[in-house]
Homo-oligomer: A and B are copies of this chain.
């Protein structure tokens, strides 16, 4: 395996791929290959659940099964004798087509980065308190459109919509002029929960299977005109891109780190004995130039707190639920996870290496998010990438 591969054996992220001429099936990435794990378990009920075009049937099997499969794959890929059993089922990554890894049930987007919420507050309400009164008490979030979650590589058509008229004039309708990205981290629910039964913070790992990268494309002009009083709608619902690989929580044990103290202390249902976050380092590239390096470790609310809040009213979880962090921004200007922050709403354009300037995205622009995290044995765990090109 090449040094520095994002997919060392300590990672083993899950995805859905089609080999040339073959049907979609579940695989794990290893080095520059993908292992067809539906073939490893061929002839068993587990194998049938893996020989499908989504991870959902595997995810539904629950935590015990996730651990078993990972353990067995580690044996197969590291034992010299056993390795021969898998050789026939490896496909070069550059020869397969990667698909949306899971059917998205409900998609929730949070707003859990304090720097991001503060930046947007400063931009939109320059004279008020940048954080609204509820922000430090509860993880603010809302439901997005599950049906327009697409896999990395899907072109993103510039959406049209109503844009506020200047100086109180009537709005007009046309292509967004403020197309933006949001660099986020998403959590994939495997095991469902029952309606009426909140999931306590401590049960996080019984339900959440793994982590994807998310680019929540946003049309800022559409959003700002429509969002009062019921929140973002068409400014977000045209596309949300996710990475093709779901990194299992088990691969991220070494990435855990305590979250900063929360003030005020969270209400009991959000209290975690040792609240932990993940040391994911994101990178945002715009046409191959790195424009930001958002640190996921700075998130105010922990992943387990987000899940506990989401279900505190008894809302049930389904296999395939996706909840994302919201834009990840750090305290430094070069750590901001959206263009509206990086360019301060267009006031401070970015200069790209080709000399061109950007406030928001232009047709033909390609945005790519990547991330790494510390893994076992000192390796770095990669998340692959989520990329998309804007088309008119």
Contacts and interface: CB of A to CB of B under 8 A. Distances in A.
A312 B161 CA distance: 6
A231 B229 contact: yes
A228 B315 contact: no
A133 to B, nearest CB: 8
B138 A313 contact: no
Contacts of A145: 106, 143, 315
B228 A313 contact: no
Nearest to A159: B313
A147 to B, nearest CB: 5
Nearest to A141: B233
B137 A162 contact: yes
Interface stretch (A165-173, A328-336, A359-367, A376-384): A165-173
Given A147-B321, A313-B237, A230 B106 contact: no
A195 interface: yes
Interface stretch (A77-85, A208-216, A261-269, A341-349): A261-269
A195 B108 CA distance: 20
B267 A313 contact: no
A227 B146 CA distance: 20
A157 B197 CA distance: 10
A142 B238 contact: no
Contacts of A239: 195, 314
A147 B317 contact: yes
Give how many copies assemble into the complex: 2
Interface stretch (A56-64, A91-99, A218-226, A285-293): A218-226
A313 to B, nearest CB: 4
Interface string A196-209: 10100000000000
A346 to B, nearest CB: 20
Contact of A226 (B138, B159, B226): B138
A226 B140 contact: yes
Contacts of A196: 157
Using C-beta atoms within 8 Å of the partner chain, give the interface range for chain A.
35 or more
A159 B229 contact: no
A111 B230 contact: yes
B142 A231 contact: yes
A239 to B, nearest CB: 7
A148 interface: yes
Interface string A235-258: 101110000000000000000000
Contacts of A25: none
Contact of A134 (B111, B140, B228, B267): B228
A138 B162 contact: yes
A372 interface: no
Nearest to A110: B230
A157 B314 contact: yes
B147 A230 contact: no
22 contacts: A106-B147, A108-B233, A134-B225, A137-B162, A140-B229, A141-B230, A147-B315, A147-B316, A157-B314, A160-B198, A160-B312, A170-B264, A172-B267, A173-B268, A173-B312, A222-B313, A227-B231, A230-B231, A231-B231, A231-B232, A234-B310, A239-B314
Given A140-B230, A234-B313, 6 more contacts: A108-B233, A134-B228, A148-B316, A171-B267, A173-B312, A237-B315
Interface of A: 105-106, 108-109, 111, 132, 134, 137-138, 140-148, 150, 157, 159-162, 170-173, 195-196, 198, 219, 222, 225-235, 237-239, 264, 267-269, 309-310, 312-318, 321
Q: Which 5 A-B pairs have the closest CB atoms?
A: A231-B231, A159-B313, A142-B230, A143-B143, A157-B196
